[in-house]
């Protein structure tokens, strides 16, 4: 019970890595807010956690909308009285477009979800954590936040931005009882590909040239195990790090 009596928000938790993180956190004693734009999916996950003896509530949030994020934190505080851990997991892909093909509309949409939404959630959480005197942020970033050829220009730039935001936040609040770390998963078996639209043939072809160096595809629970470590007190001396979980893909 490494998260006994902790309260955690997990965004994008209706499926994939977010679902695995929410379930594992609950198994380790956390009260979990299962947040997702797909409210029915979030409800299904929360109900399964409850039926398994855990504590969870579902929440519908479009992380690109500030009002939704404000409501997410308000509901969390109303239900549980506090927040200990924020896991920013929600994200979308681009269409592998290189910079010469990216449209303003696609760029803005990807950044709204992957970067601005994360920043806003961190801003709200940080001010809450400062009042409490403690708190942990775990950002599920991507190998695309460390390397340049894991997606298109918009996704890559959006994830690099969150890498910088993670490090900056960790240093700024290191003496305020707040920790902020990130995870950089490699290829993981999720449904994020369903968010891809108008796929660039050229961009996909260029990106695929490095796919053969991927040792294997990971499972969501393998990422959840790292999120558990970073969210728990076991990682009390780990701050400002973005840890790759990719079977060695970025080692190439």
Report if residue 158 sits inside a domain.
yes
Give per-residue pLDDT as tens, 84-116: 999 999 999 999 999 999 999 999 999 999 999
Q: What is the pLDDT of residue 35?
A: 98
Report if residue 213 sits inside a domain.
yes
Report if residue 234 sits inside a domain.
yes
Mean pLDDT of 192-213: 88
> Is 155 labeled as catalytic in the residue annotation?
yes
Report if residue 41 sits inside a domain.
yes
Mean pLDDT of 217-246: 98
Report if residue 246 sits inside a domain.
yes
Give per-residue pLDDT as tens, 8-36: 999 999 999 999 999 999 999 999 999 99
Report if residue 91 sits inside a domain.
yes
Within 10 A of 189 (CB to CB), how many other CB atoms are there? 12
Is the per-residue pLDDT at 169 higher than 90?
yes
Residue among 70, 68, 162 nearest 118 (CA): 162
* Structural domains counted in the chain: 1
Give per-residue pLDDT as tens, 203-219: 999 988 988 899 999 99
Report if residue 2 sits inside a domain.
no
What is the extent of the structural domain holding 204? 7-251
Task: Choose the catalytic residue: 155, 171, 173, 252.
Answer: 155
CB 189 within 8 A of CB 220: yes
The pLDDT confidence band at residue 196, using thresholds 50, 70 and 90, is confident
Could you give phi then psi for residue 111, rounded to 5 degrees? -70, -35
CATH number, domain with residue 218 = 3.40.50.720
């Amino acid at each position: 019970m490494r998260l006994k009596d902790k309260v955690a928000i997990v965004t994008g938790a209706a499926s994939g890595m977010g679902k695995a993180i929410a379930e594992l956190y609950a198994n380790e004693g956390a009260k979990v807010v299962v947040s997702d734009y797909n409210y029915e999916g979030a409800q299904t996950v929360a109900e399964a956690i409850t039926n398994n003896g855990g504590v969870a509530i579902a929440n519908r949030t479009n992380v690109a909308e500030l009002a939704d994020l404000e409501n997410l934190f308000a509901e969390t505080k109303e239900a549980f009285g506090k927040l200990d851990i924020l896991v920013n997991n929600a994200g979308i892909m681009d269409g592998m477009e290189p910079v010469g093909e990216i449209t303003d509309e696609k760029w803005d949409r990807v950044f709204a979800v992957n970067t601005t939404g994360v920043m806003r959630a961190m801003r709200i959480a940080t001010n809450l954590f400062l009042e409490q005197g403690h708190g942990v942020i775990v950002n599920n970033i991507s190998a695309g936040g460390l390397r340049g050829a894991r997606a298109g220009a918009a996704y890559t730039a959006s994830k690099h931005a969150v890498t910088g935001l993670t490090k900056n936040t960790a240093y700024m609040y290191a003496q305020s009882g707040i920790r902020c770390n990130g995870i950089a998963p490699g290829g993981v078996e999720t449904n994020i590909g369903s968010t891809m639209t108008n796929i660039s043939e050229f961009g996909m072809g260029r990106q695929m040239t490095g796919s053969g160096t991927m040792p294997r595809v990971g499972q969501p629970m393998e990422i959840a195990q790292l999120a558990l470590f970073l969210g728990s007190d076991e990682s009390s001396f780990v701050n400002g790090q973005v840890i790759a979980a990719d079977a060695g893909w970025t080692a190439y």
